[in-house]
Structure 1
Amino acid sequence: MADASLISPTTERRTSPRAAYRKRRRRRERVHMFGQLVDLVKPEEVLHHVQDAVAEGRKSLVANHNLHSLYLIQKHPEMRPFYDKAEMIEVDSTPMIWFSRALGLHSRGFHRCTYLDWRDHFWSVANRKGWRVMSVGGEPGVGEEAARRLGARYPRAEIRTRHGFFDATPGSADNAEIVAEIQAFKPHILFVGMGMPRQELWTLAVYDALPDCVIFSVGAAFDYEAGTQTPAPRWMGRAGVEWAYRLVQNPRRLFTRYCVEPWALIPLAIRDLRAARRRMIGKQARRTEDFGAPPVDNFPRGG
């Protein structure tokens, strides 16, 4: 597979003309970096995708990649099927956007996209449409506080939460109980926030048992909504220094993630850069073939 392959997921379900158009457009948005596929989408495009999926009543998985997940997927290859199922894979990393531009891809700063970038828009839509939203993850009590705060601002959205401290082993009583609760609630949106790679592996294990809804892996999203964690100002995300803000807040937990793990991606980065150079040389060669050799200067030189 070429490192800048443009690939779109397929579905057997009938989609609306608008959704079909957006799917064709995402063929140009899906690119290959660090050995993984990602979609160069803006926050509003994520919300368009969500609204289409909810309107059509189909199941859709929205994933995200950052430097941490790129590292983890090397250590936990069992995560790969999760990303294979995803209809959309957000880029949750400004350094990844910078690197994609070095590869000659059509990326811009606004393609850095995560829950904190689209949450206000999302909850406004959820409130207007009366969506049922369920969150699984976080410590006991965090989800309830997040739901209380969100409910005060968006009273028409129906919100239910379950903490992430349960036995997630397939076949366990805890697991069966939570899946049954999700099935009974029939959410339009399911947020899974249990940290990487647990949230991805759990979602993958129960995916077939989940009702038709849009499923997001969102990490600490409801911790931010509950006020137990403070998000970095959005300008820091756009500037690519949000990691420093989080590192100062929790150096013991995040030092390895931000200061050690990225070095393991260097071989993948070198491979991508070499492939990008080969593509550039190939394009130049084809351009020369298409337009012929450069014109010859027939004017005599000298006196």
Structure 2
Amino acid sequence: MSSEEIASSEETAAMDATKSRPTVLAPRSSARSWVWDVPFDPLTLSGSVDRIEQMIQYGMDTGTPSYVITANLNYCMLHHQEPELHQITNDCGLILADGHPIVVRSRLSGKRLPERVAGSELIYDLAERCGERGWGIYFLGGEPGVAQQCADKLAADYQGLRIAGVESPPFRVLTEREQREQDARIMNSGAQVLLVAFGQPKGEKWIHANYKRLGIPVSIQLGASFDFVAGKSSRAPDIWQKLGLEWMHRMMSDPKRLGPRYAANAMFLCGRLVEDWKRLVTRWGMGDWSDQRRG
């Protein structure tokens, strides 16, 4: 073999070795914005999709699964009320701010969040990115038929997207046999992304309990996003969204179910704003309130 051929062979081997090296996933930003004790990652929608792509690739290369939380005001309230969620929050690979109150409140922390990253928008951009990469998505949850309609719509809109599986399990605890069968379907699907629509916080708890065993690179609880994509529910007009009033539109569309939830969210928000004001006044030396909570 000539010296030129040897050099060429060594160069090719080096390139192949580089390609085979696992993706190095940078740690979550140290500049997270703490809002009401929840550490949010300061990312835009496009930046979030880029980060999730890195997490998927890292999971594929190393066999290390992770998950994403799209946290709205309701999640912040539940996080405050249920200590069980603290570990779920700490273990996740990415936390996105799916709520205008969170973004606005971040301006007081010194580490501003650039924008709201709504799960109902993220699902489209993520489907587009998966289509470009030829990756598969497994759709789990929602009412019967809704997940399938959502999957069909995204597959039609984004060429290359692979539907790895679709199922809407019953609204009850599965039997051991049913759970084993479901596990097998998900694990053998070849999916790179598992989208879960079990509601909040059931979806986040389910993912935390199962993501390591299932081994899907990235799992995300996306709540009502299946309904929006399938056309079962409609999002608020753009002007309502820009004014931060999408919650009102949703409540008006289903007041019996969502009214109590948003009333509880409003009470939580008022309480936290009062605490924020007390802390601010204390910093100014105008009061003696003490509060050791972070954010």
Question: Above 0.5 in TM-score?
Answer: yes
Equivalent AA in structure 1 for residue 226 of structure 2 = F
Count of residues paired in the alignment: 260
**Helix, strand or coil for the counterpart of 1:245?**
helix
d(CA) in 1 for partners of 2:74 and 2:185?
A: 31
Tell me the residue number matched to 2:257. Answer: 253
Identity of aligned residues (%): 26
1:194 aligned partner, one-letter code: F
2:120–2:224 CA contact under 8 A, matched in 1: no
CA contact (8 A) 1:62 1:86 kept: yes
Over 3 Å counting, the alpha-carbon distance change for 1:209 and 1:219 in structure 2 is: same
Q: Distance in 2 between matches of 1:15 and 1:130?
A: 18
Deviations 1:128-187 (A, max 9, x none): 111110111101111112222222222421112111425435x73322222221111131
> Is the 2:197–2:222 contact (alpha carbons within 8 Å) kept by the matching residues of 1?
yes
| Residue 228 (structure 2) pairs with residue 227 (structure 1) | no
Distance in 2 of aligned mates of 1:146 and 1:172: 28
* 1:81 is the counterpart of 2:87: yes
Whether 1:200 and 2:204 are equivalent positions in the alignment is yes
Matched residue, 1:38: 40
2:65 pairs with 1:59? yes
1:31 and 1:272 map into 2 onto residues whose CA distance is: 15
Paired AA for residue 27 in structure 1: S
| Structure 2 unaligned blocks of 5 or more | 1-20, 286-295
**Which residue of 2 is the match for residue 146 of structure 1?**
150
Letter of the 1:218 partner, please give it. Answer: L
Matched, 1:168 2:170: no
The alpha-carbon deviation at position 262 of structure 1 amounts to 2.5
Q: Which residue of 2 aligns with 1:123?
A: 127
Task: Give how far 1:226 is off.
Answer: 1.3
Indicate the RMSD between aligned Cα atoms, in angstroms: 2.4
CA contact (8 A) 2:70 2:98 kept: yes
Cα offset, 1:77, TM superposition = 2.4
Are 1:238 and 2:242 matched, yes or no?
A: yes
Q: Which amino acid letter does the alignment assign opposite residue 163 of structure 1?
A: S
Contact 1:63 1:86 in 2 (8 A): yes
Which secondary structure state, in structure 2, belongs to the residue aligned with residue 37 of structure 1?
strand
Change (3 A) 1:237 1:207: same
Determine the structure 1 residue equivalent to 2:182: 178
With normalisation by structure 2, the TM-score equals 0.79
1:234-259: per-residue Cα shift (whole Å, max 9, x none)? 44333201011111111111111222
Q: Structure 1 CA distance, aligned partners of 2:155 and 2:23?
A: 32
Cα separation, 2, equivalents of 1:120 and 1:144: 15
- Which sections of structure 1, spanning at least 5 residues, go unmatched? 1-12, 282-303
User: C-alpha distance in 2, partners of 1:217/1:77?
Assistant: 19
Structure 1 residue 15: deviation in Å? 4.5
Question: Aligned-pair distance for 1:74?
Answer: 3.3
